[in-house]
Amino acid sequence: MSLLRTAARASVAARAVGRVQRRQQAAWAAQDAGHAAAAPVASPSPAAPSGGSQALIDQLAQLGQLRDAGVLTAEEFDAQKQRLLA
């Protein structure tokens, strides 16, 4: 019986580690995207408004995916969305 209990605990632990790793990867990807996109968003070029709007749409989509994946809370999502739209 203890062998089954140990196997069950190992399975639960492996799933927990997997969830944590996925959350960390998503958070790191969001940080990288934020750092890479910070320069174009901070100083948009007036000559190319369509490219800037597409980048904004892409960033909002990424934020939505992070919220849906549970990486961001609704409050964090709203704060980041307002920062992007400002």
Supply the mean pLDDT for the chain.
76
Number of H helices, E strands in the chain: 3, 0
Q: pTM above the 0.85 mark?
A: no
Q: What is the pLDDT of residue 31?
A: 83
The mean pLDDT of 53-80, rounded to a whole number, is: 87
The DSSP output letter for 70 is T
Number of domains in the chain: 1
In tens, the pLDDT along 6-41 reads 777 777 777 777 788 888 888 888 888 776 655 444
Residue 63 pLDDT greater than 80, yes or no: yes
Residue 77 pLDDT greater than 60, yes or no: yes
The range of the structural domain enclosing residue 16 comes to: 2-85
